[in-house]
């Protein structure tokens, strides 16, 4: 009897304690999600009430909007290049750090720090480094006899500049890789040594399979993050002197395009449609990753 | 014999690589600080001037007085502080409930909350903006501070729950026998034992808030309310400068903006890195 | 970190933060019974001038309190529309002829005030071209402060060193181009490169003027169709692009000197902006102005743009707003504008200052600005003008300008034509689907003058 009343008492307490989180979920996640789905079928500029227009937002985006597909391509290219490069760098550094070198803590701090810095400040520093005339990069290239491109103001080089900048912040996946590497039992390496396996063979057959779970995690998180990039793109664009999307939309990331449409020009319905397309893309990509992951991710 | 020699060789190589990488990682920051001490002529000079002739501390004074820097710093701090408090409170409550209070629907609710991490901010931003706008809350700090108080930091809930679950149940038994309420148990037993997690969450929340550009860009409209990220961008793009942006001053502001992050990171780094690692492993 | 040190540092940090937070939460000034007018001001170089004028206005009108809020120029339009959308529009905000079509539904019609107080403000003293630019469909929708006209800017030092004759009012595109070629020289020992002419990128100021000078236009008379793909428009666009890619008198995007004309490395600049005059003089540039060189059709020797203030049609204090407008248009205020380096909208003030010989060292021929004003055209705009030009058309132009292949003239023409066609098609798609619809009263699309 006492147990039953205690359990129902706990139940009541449960709902009391999670009430803020439930409220938050409804007000900041579920509610807006439903509303934005509705808005994606309307023409809405915040000043006048929404006007239902069916799927015209979606068809405009896919068939007529000159900025939509370029922004998809920019984002996709960025993701396809920066995520693998970032993961390889992160894994590489983690492998080096895993070797019980002296000063491991200091190195780890140095590699991790850039990923924590405010994207705005880092972005501004990198824009300065990429400056065509007196930026550090072009000055260094000049010493090697190369005339560097106009980077943030160049149609071809603005996106590569952003990719280079994003690689600077591989600290987070690196730390996770490091933790994953440290979880691999030494006994396995010793056994491999006894079998006469080379370093490379050890890596391929012991290390790699056992870190596939963290690799998977970093890959999924990295991809989702790449699809949502906004801050650095905004900084690059607004300091390039050309406009937020960069020259000829070179750095018009999807989230930036969405922000422009919604908050510079108040096409809220259109932007909501863009948001839902992004959401569906993320869901599809993640589902695909999970499905693919069953094949290559090692499970306990 | 061979192994030892190859191990020395490989050690040197590893050090060289790590050192080289570390230099590359730090170079932008070093360049930023060096530039912040130069005069504008030294910045623009060709052939390039690598080191400033003397350290110009006055750049900092000039940069920080050209715009209302103290106010922006204070604004950023205020928003961060309120966010930290809100997150710790609302997420502790929820995490404790999920960890220790069985109830029907608990698993489903937890799964729902976890799934919100997949929802990009872009989906929710427009309705939220329009609702805040209707409530007259645009151009206030409320939209930036309210979500934290309603448990929207799912990562925090997740992490705290992990910690709470690992605390043996009998720690609370004594208190429960004494008739303590659930809240009292949470505050006097669980929270004190979860300091590493709380610290990690506080640091994460601070970073998220200090570095946030998106929220202030949307909701803060007059300059008295600006936070540092927006203020910095506006400073770079200050209209009508004959020679372009005053990079030496811009770098000074960037340095000051990065300092709190660096300081806090150094103070809390061990716990912090553990926290990140934990999130990756247990995900 | 030792155990004692860390908490101490944290404590110190917390106390410091608390102090700053308290400092930040200063309460706003109390108006105590006065009428409060909120004024949303874009942050530009004229901030000290506006603050001074606001203070004077407050002294002369103690019953009105002017609360100014400064917003960086790049975000100004977003902030303004957000405030309008949330139902709290500022009483006063920046307006001008470029933005009027966009803001027409929100602007207070000032015509009754202008007509009622015409004598008091000495309406005849204001240049007719300025007043005409302030009218849309016959309605006064904002109050002018100063204006800019499209001019040819030239650097006298560079011309003198090359022993080139200064530009005259008879110049055409040919003379301009020829001089630019003669003046362009690469960097040599100790001296940086000099370019014959600036090219303004990322903004429609230069290319649209050149398009119009060639007889083209951006939209048709109804603003329902983009006409950038017509031969005259393409001709203007080719002239623009060939400055960089064929004649090589202008630097490619990103390759030019920081600071543009002010850097002293550009011999000439087309169109420009009179708001830059103070800057040029502050750095001691030796410069002057001339009329824009005539294009093939001899039209559009100049365009005018007005820097103005408008009032919200939801303001609770229209009369107070009008008092402010009268103040800002008054002779002392315009004189203050001139002292701060802006052009006078009033004939009387101009005659005492800019048009008086020797008043300004640079530009020596300030009167040319007023000649340009007299012959200026004032482009009509659709409410979507900004968005179409910035988001739909500008990227195509950026791409065409960035095309650094070594093309012969006909290939270049084909490429530019293709770019203009793509831009026009996309613009037309936009107008069909997202374009602001015309309202019953015709507002949204101002008629041509």
DSSP conformation letters of A235-300:
HHHHHTTS-TT-GGGTT--HHHHHHIIIIIS--HHHHHHHHHHHHHHHHHHHHHHHHHHHHH----
**Within chain B, which residue ranges are assigned CATH 1.10.3720.10?**
67-236
Distance from CA of C234 to the nearest CA of B (A): 31
Where are the domains positioned within chain C?
A: 35-148+304-374, 151-301+384-433
Distance from CA of A259 to the nearest CA of C (A): 11
**How far apart, in whole angstroms, are the C-alpha atoms of residue A227 and residue A257?**
12
Angle at C354 between CA C350 and CA C357, to 5 degrees: 120
Angle at A255 between CA A251 and CA A257, to 5 degrees: 65
Largest CA distance in chain B: 78
**How far apart, in whole angstroms, are the C-alpha atoms of residue B123 and residue A33?**
6
CATH of the domain at A71: 1.10.3720.10
3-class DSSP assignment, residue A230? coil
Give the structural domain span for A142: 63-296
For residues A258 and B122, is the Cβ–Cβ distance under 8 A?
yes
Q: How many of the other CB atoms lie within 10 Å of CB of B187?
A: 14
For residues A44 and A268, is the Cβ–Cβ distance under 8 A?
yes
Q: Which residues of C touch A249 (CB under 8 A)?
A: 395
Within C170-215, where are the H helices?
173-183, 204-213
> A115-119, A229-233, B132-136, B241-245: which has the minimum mean pLDDT?
B241-245
For residue C3, the model assigns a pLDDT of 45
My answer on whether omega of the bond before B273 falls inside 30° of 0, hence cis, is no
Q: Which residues of B touch A111 (CB under 8 A)?
A: 21-22, 25
Distance from CA of C422 to the nearest CA of A (A): 9
Choose among B214, C17, B31, B270: nearest CA to A122. B31
Are C398 and A238 an interchain contact pair (Cβ–Cβ within 8 Å)? no
Distance from CA of B164 to the nearest CA of A (A): 15
Query: With bands split at pLDDT 50, 70 and 90, how would you rate the model's confidence at C441?
Result: very low
Are A265 and C387 an interchain contact pair (Cβ–Cβ within 8 Å)? yes
Taking CA–CA distances from C87, the nearest residue in chain A reads A47
Please indicate if any CB of chain B lies within 8 Å of the CB of C1: yes
Q: What is the mean pLDDT of residues A153-158?
A: 89
Are A278 and B125 an interchain contact pair (Cβ–Cβ within 8 Å)? no
3-class DSSP assignment, residue A156? coil
Q: Which two tokens stand for residue B172?
A: 């609370």
Q: Which residues of C touch B239 (CB under 8 A)?
A: 43-45, 73
For residues A201 and A208, is the Cβ–Cβ distance under 8 A?
no
Q: What is the mean pLDDT of residues C64-88?
A: 82
Radius of gyration for chain B, computed over Cα atoms and rounded to the nearest angstrom:
24
Q: Is residue A202 part of a domain?
A: yes
CB contact residues (below 8 A), chain B span 66-85, against chain C: 70-71, 73-75, 77-78, 81
Choose among A223, A179, A184, A216: nearest CA to A202. A184
Q: Which residues of A touch B124 (CB under 8 A)?
A: 28-29, 32-33, 36
What percent of chain A stands above pLDDT 90?
A: 41
Residues 6+ apart with CB under 8 A from B37: B52, B55, B56, B57, B59, B248
**How far apart, in whole angstroms, are the C-alpha atoms of residue C30 and residue C33?**
9
Residue C31: alpha-carbon gap to chain centroid: 34
For residues C79 and C309, is the Cβ–Cβ distance under 8 A?
no
Distance from CA of B123 to the nearest CA of C (A): 19
Are B239 and C259 an interchain contact pair (Cβ–Cβ within 8 Å)? no
**How far apart, in whole angstroms, are the C-alpha atoms of residue C147 and residue C275?**
8
Q: Which residues of A touch C74 (CB under 8 A)?
A: 238
**How far apart, in whole angstroms, are the C-alpha atoms of residue C406 and residue C403?**
9
**How far apart, in whole angstroms, are the C-alpha atoms of residue C248 and residue C396?**
20
**How far apart, in whole angstroms, are the C-alpha atoms of residue B254 and residue B245?**
13
Q: Is the pLDDT of residue C29 over 60?
A: no
**How far apart, in whole angstroms, are the C-alpha atoms of residue C382 and residue C437?**
10
Distance from CA of A284 to the nearest CA of C (A): 29
Are B234 and C88 an interchain contact pair (Cβ–Cβ within 8 Å)? no
Mark out chain A residues that contact chain C at CB-CB < 8 A. Answer: 45-47, 56, 60, 64-67, 70, 132-133, 149-156, 238, 241-243, 245, 247-249, 260, 263-267, 270
Query: With bands split at pLDDT 50, 70 and 90, how would you rate the model's confidence at A238?
Result: confident
What percent of chain A stands above pLDDT 70?
A: 96
**How far apart, in whole angstroms, are the C-alpha atoms of residue B214 and residue B134?**
20
> Each residue of C318-356: pLDDT tens digit?
999 999 999 999 999 999 999 988 999 999 999 999 888
Q: Which residues of B touch A139 (CB under 8 A)?
A: 48
> Each residue of A26-77: pLDDT tens digit?
999 999 999 999 999 999 887 788 999 989 999 999 998 999 999 999 999 9
**How far apart, in whole angstroms, are the C-alpha atoms of residue C160 and residue C164?**
6
- Average pLDDT of chain C, as a whole number: 86
| Facing residue for A128 by CB, picked from B93, B229, B247 | B247
Architecture of domain B67-236: Orthogonal Bundle (1.10)
Provide the CATH topology of domain C151-301+384-433.
D-Maltodextrin-Binding Protein; domain 2 (3.40.190)
Taking CA–CA distances from B81, the nearest residue in chain C reads C17
Q: Is the pLDDT of residue C432 over 70?
A: yes
**How far apart, in whole angstroms, are the C-alpha atoms of residue A14 and residue B104?**
10
Q: How many of the other CB atoms lie within 10 Å of CB of C332?
A: 12
For residues C136 and C104, is the Cβ–Cβ distance under 8 A?
yes
pTM, two decimal places: 0.87
Place of tokens 């204090």: C317
Global ipTM: 0.85
Q: Is the pLDDT of residue A222 over 60?
A: yes
Inter-chain CB pairs, A–C, below 8 Å: 83
Distance from CA of C380 to the nearest CA of B (A): 26
> Each residue of A247-296: pLDDT tens digit?
889 999 999 999 999 988 889 999 999 999 999 999 999 899 888 888 88
Mutation to test the C interface, candidates A56, A65, A66, most C Cβ within 10 Å: A66
Choose among A104, A80, A79, A82: nearest CA to A94. A104
For residue A5, the model assigns a pLDDT of 67
**The most confident of B31-35, B118-122, B265-269, by mean pLDDT:** B31-35
**How far apart, in whole angstroms, are the C-alpha atoms of residue C287 and residue C276?**
12
My answer on whether omega of the bond before B47 falls inside 30° of 0, hence cis, is yes
Are B221 and C83 an interchain contact pair (Cβ–Cβ within 8 Å)? yes
Query: With bands split at pLDDT 50, 70 and 90, how would you rate the model's confidence at B36?
Result: very high
Distance from CA of A58 to the nearest CA of B (A): 15
For residue C445, the model assigns a pLDDT of 34
For residue B4, the model assigns a pLDDT of 45
Distance from CA of C423 to the nearest CA of A (A): 9
Distance from CA of B83 to the nearest CA of C (A): 14
**How far apart, in whole angstroms, are the C-alpha atoms of residue C193 and residue B125?**
48
Q: Is residue A52 part of a domain?
A: no
SS3 labels along chain B: CHHHHHHHHHHHHHHHHHHHHHHHHHHHHHHHHHHHCCCHHHHHCCCCCCCCCCCCCHHHHHHHHHCCHHHHHHHHHHHHHHHHHHHHHHHHHHHHHHHHCCCCCHHHHHHHHHHHHHCCHHHHHHHHHHHHHHCCCCCCCHHHHHHHHCCCCHHHHHHHHHHHHHCCCHHHHHHHHCCCCHHHHHHHHHHHHCHHHHHHHHHHHHHHHHCCCHHHHHHCCCHHHCCHHHHHHHHHCCCCCCCCCCHHHHHHHHHHHHHHHHHHHHHHHHHHHHHHHHHHHHC
Q: Which residues of C touch A67 (CB under 8 A)?
A: 391-392, 395
**How far apart, in whole angstroms, are the C-alpha atoms of residue B93 and residue B160?**
10
Q: How many of the other CB atoms lie within 10 Å of CB of A193?
A: 13
| Facing residue for C258 by CB, picked from B78, B234, B243 | B243
Mutation to test the A interface, candidates C105, C398, C401, C421, most A Cβ within 10 Å: C398
Taking CA–CA distances from C282, the nearest residue in chain B reads B242
Are A168 and B28 an interchain contact pair (Cβ–Cβ within 8 Å)? yes
CB contact residues (below 8 A), chain C span 3-32, against chain B: 6, 9-10, 13, 17, 20-21, 23-25
Q: Is residue A98 part of a domain?
A: yes
| Facing residue for A64 by CB, picked from C74, C402, C433 | C433
Q: What is the mean pLDDT of residues A116-137?
A: 90
**How far apart, in whole angstroms, are the C-alpha atoms of residue B7 and residue C50?**
72
Q: Which residues of C touch A264 (CB under 8 A)?
A: 77-78, 387
| Facing residue for A243 by CB, picked from C394, C422, C429 | C394
Which comes out higher in pLDDT, residue C203 or A31? A31
Identify the chains in contact with C, defined as 3+ C-beta pairs within 8 A: A, B
For residue C12, the model assigns a pLDDT of 64
Separation in Å, CA C84 to CA A49, B136, C87, C435: 14, 11, 5, 20
> B261-265, C7-11, C151-155: which has the minimum mean pLDDT?
C7-11
Are A23 and B150 an interchain contact pair (Cβ–Cβ within 8 Å)? yes
- DSSP conformation letters of A28-91: IIIHHHHHHHHHTTEE--SSSPPEE-TTHHHHIIIII-TTHHHHHHHHHHHHHHHHHHHHHHHH
Backbone φ and ψ of A233, nearest 5°: -65, -40
Q: How many of the other CB atoms lie within 10 Å of CB of C283?
A: 12
Choose among C270, C240, C256, C248: nearest CA to C400. C240
For residue C253, the model assigns a pLDDT of 86
CB contact residues (below 8 A), chain B span 160-189, against chain A: 182-183
CATH of segment(s) C35-148+304-374: 3.40.190.10
3-class DSSP assignment, residue A234? helix
Taking CA–CA distances from C73, the nearest residue in chain B reads B239
Distance from CA of A24 to the nearest CA of C (A): 23
Q: Is the pLDDT of residue C419 over 90?
A: yes
For residue C380, the model assigns a pLDDT of 66
Q: Is the pLDDT of residue C6 over 70?
A: no
Q: Is residue A33 part of a domain?
A: no
Residue B262: alpha-carbon gap to chain centroid: 11
For residues A153 and A242, is the Cβ–Cβ distance under 8 A?
yes
Q: What is the mean pLDDT of residues A149-158?
A: 89
Are B94 and A20 an interchain contact pair (Cβ–Cβ within 8 Å)? yes
- The two counts, helices (H) then strands (E), for chain A are 15, 2
Mutation to test the A interface, candidates C433, C437, C439, C444, most A Cβ within 10 Å: C433
Q: Is the pLDDT of residue C444 over 50?
A: no
Separation in Å, CA A64 to CA A268, B186, C428, C431, C434: 17, 56, 10, 11, 11
Backbone φ and ψ of C341, nearest 5°: 105, 15
Identify the chains in contact with A, defined as 3+ C-beta pairs within 8 A: B, C
> B45-49, B252-256, C227-231: which has the minimum mean pLDDT?
B45-49
**Torsion (CA) B198, B199, B201, B203 in degrees, nearest 10:** 160
For residues C103 and C136, is the Cβ–Cβ distance under 8 A?
no
Q: Is residue A56 part of a domain?
A: no
Number of domains comprising chain A:
1
**How far apart, in whole angstroms, are the C-alpha atoms of residue A293 and residue A40?**
33
For residue B209, the model assigns a pLDDT of 93
Q: Is the pLDDT of residue C439 over 70?
A: no
| Residue C360: DSSP 8-state | -
Please indicate if any CB of chain B lies within 8 Å of the CB of A111: yes
> B207-211, C109-113, C433-437: which has the minimum mean pLDDT?
C433-437
Q: What is the mean pLDDT of residues A184-195?
A: 83
Q: Which residues of C touch A151 (CB under 8 A)?
A: 254
**How far apart, in whole angstroms, are the C-alpha atoms of residue A159 and residue B45?**
27
Residues 6+ apart with CB under 8 A from B148: B82, B83, B84, B85, B86, B87, B90, B205
Q: Which two tokens stand for residue A267?
A: 């096409």
Taking CA–CA distances from C397, the nearest residue in chain A reads A248
């Amino acid at each position: 009897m006492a147990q039953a009343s205690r359990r129902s008492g706990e139940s009541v307490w449960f709902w009391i304690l999670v009430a803020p989180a439930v409220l938050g979920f409804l007000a900041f996640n579920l509610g807006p999600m439903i509303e934005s789905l509705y808005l994606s079928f309307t023409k809405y500029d915040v000043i006048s009430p929404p006007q239902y227009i069916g799927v015209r937002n979606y068809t405009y985006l896919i068939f007529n909007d000159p900025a939509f597909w370029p922004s998809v391509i920019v984002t996709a290219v960025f993701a396809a290049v920066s995520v693998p490069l970032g993961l390889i760098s992160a894994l590489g550094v983690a492998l080096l750090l895993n070797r019980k070198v002296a000063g491991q803590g200091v190195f780890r701090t140095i590699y991790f720090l850039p990923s924590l810095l405010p994207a705005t400040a880092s972005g501004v520093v990198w824009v300065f480094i990429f400056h065509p005339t007196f930026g550090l990069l072009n000055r260094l290239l000049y010493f090697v006899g190369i005339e560097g491109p106009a980077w943030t103001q160049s149609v071809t080089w603005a996106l590569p500049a952003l990719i280079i900048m994003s690689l600077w912040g591989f600290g987070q996946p690196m730390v996770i890789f490091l933790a994953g590497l440290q979880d691999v039992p030494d006994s396995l390496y010793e056994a491999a040594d006894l079998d006469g396996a080379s370093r490379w063979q050890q890596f391929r057959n012991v290390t790699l399979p056992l870190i596939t779970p963290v690799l998977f995690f970093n890959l999924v998180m990295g991809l989702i993050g790449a699809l949502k990039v906004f801050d650095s793109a905004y900084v690059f664009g607004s300091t390039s002197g050309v406009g937020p999307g960069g020259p000829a939309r070179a750095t018009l990331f999807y989230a930036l395009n969405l922000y422009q449409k919604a908050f510079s020009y108040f096409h809220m319905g259109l932007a909501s449609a863009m948001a839902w397309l992004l959401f569906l893309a993320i869901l599809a990509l993640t589902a695909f990753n999970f499905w693919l992951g069953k094949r290559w991710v090692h499970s306990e | 014999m061979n192994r030892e020699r190859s191990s020395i060789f490989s050690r040197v190589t590893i050090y060289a690589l790590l050192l080289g990488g570390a230099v590359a990682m730090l170079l932008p920051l070093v360049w930023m600080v060096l530039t912040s001490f130069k005069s504008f002529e030294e910045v623009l000079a060709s052939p390039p001037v690598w080191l400033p002739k003397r350290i110009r501390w006055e750049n900092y004074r000039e940069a920080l007085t050209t715009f209302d820097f103290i106010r922006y710093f204070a604004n950023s701090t205020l928003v961060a502080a309120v966010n930290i408090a809100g997150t710790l409170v609302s997420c502790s409550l929820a995490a404790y409930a999920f960890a220790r209070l069985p109830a029907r629907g608990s698993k489903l609710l937890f799964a729902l909350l976890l799934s919100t991490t997949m929802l990009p901010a872009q989906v929710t931003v427009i309705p939220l903006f329009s609702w805040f706008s209707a409530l007259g809350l645009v151009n206030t700090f409320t939209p930036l501070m309210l979500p934290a108080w309603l448990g929207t930091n799912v990562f925090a809930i997740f992490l705290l729950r992990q910690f709470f679950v690992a605390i043996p149940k009998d720690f609370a038994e004594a208190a429960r026998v004494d008739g303590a309420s659930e809240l009292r148990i949470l505050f006097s037993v669980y929270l004190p034992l979860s300091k590493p997690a709380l610290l990690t969450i506080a640091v994460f929340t601070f970073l998220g808030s200090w570095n946030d550009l998106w929220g202030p860009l949307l909701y803060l409209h007059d300059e008295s309310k600006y936070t540092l990220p927006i203020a910095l961008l506006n400073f770079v793009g200050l209209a009508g400068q004959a020679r372009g942006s005053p990079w030496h001053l811009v770098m000074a502001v960037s340095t000051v903006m990065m300092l709190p992050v660096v300081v806090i990171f150094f103070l809390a780094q061990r716990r912090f890195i553990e926290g990140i690692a934990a999130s990756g492993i247990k995900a | 970190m030792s155990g004692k040190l860390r908490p101490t540092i944290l404590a110190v940090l917390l106390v410091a933060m608390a102090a700053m937070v308290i400092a930040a939460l200063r309460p706003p000034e109390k108006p105590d019974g006065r009428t409060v007018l909120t004024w949303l001001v874009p942050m530009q170089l004229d901030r000290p001038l506006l603050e001074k004028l606001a203070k004077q206005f407050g002294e002369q009108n103690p019953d009105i309190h002017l609360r100014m809020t400064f917003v960086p120029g790049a975000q100004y339009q977003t902030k303004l529309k957000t405030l309008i959308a949330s139902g709290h529009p500022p009483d006063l905000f920046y307006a001008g002829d470029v933005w009027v079509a966009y803001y027409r539904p929100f602007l207070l019609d000032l015509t009754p005030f202008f007509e009622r107080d015409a004598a008091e403000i000495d309406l005849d003293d204001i240049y007719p071209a300025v007043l005409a630019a302030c009218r849309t469909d016959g309605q006064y929708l904002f109050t002018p402060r100063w204006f800019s006209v499209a001019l040819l800017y030239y650097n006298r030092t560079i011309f003198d060193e090359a022993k080139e004759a200064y530009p005259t009012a008879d110049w055409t595109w040919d003379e301009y181009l020829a001089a630019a070629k003669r003046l362009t020289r690469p960097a040599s020992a100790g001296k940086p490169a000099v370019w014959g002419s600036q090219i303004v990128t990322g903004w429609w100021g230069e290319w649209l003027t050149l398009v119009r000078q060639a007889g083209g236009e951006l939209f048709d008379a109804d603003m329902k169709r983009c006409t950038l793909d017509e031969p005259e428009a393409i001709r203007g666009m080719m002239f623009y692009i060939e400055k960089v890619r064929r004649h090589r008198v202008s630097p490619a995007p990103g390759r030019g000197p920081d600071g543009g004309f002010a850097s002293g490395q550009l011999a000439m600049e087309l169109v420009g902006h009179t708001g830059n005059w103070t800057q040029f003089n502050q750095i001691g540039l030796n410069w002057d102005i001339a009329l824009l060189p005539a294009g093939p059709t001899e039209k559009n020797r100049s365009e005018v743009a007005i820097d103005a203030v408008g009032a919200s049609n939801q303001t609770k204090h229209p009369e107070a707003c009008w008092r402010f407008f009268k103040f800002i248009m008054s002779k002392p205020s315009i004189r203050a504008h001139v002292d701060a380096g802006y052009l006078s909208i009033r004939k009387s003030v101009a005659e005492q200052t800019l048009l008086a010989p020797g008043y300004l060292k640079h530009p020596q021929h300030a009167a040319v600005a007023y000649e340009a004003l007299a012959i200026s055209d004032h482009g009509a705009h659709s409410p979507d003008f900004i968005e179409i030009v910035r988001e739909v058309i500008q990227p195509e132009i950026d791409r065409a300008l960035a095309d650094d292949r070594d093309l012969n003239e006909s290939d270049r023409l084909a490429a530019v034509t293709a770019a203009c066609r793509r831009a026009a098609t996309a613009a037309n798609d936009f107008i069909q689907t997202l374009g602001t619809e015309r309202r019953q009263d015709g507002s949204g699309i101002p008629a041509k003058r």
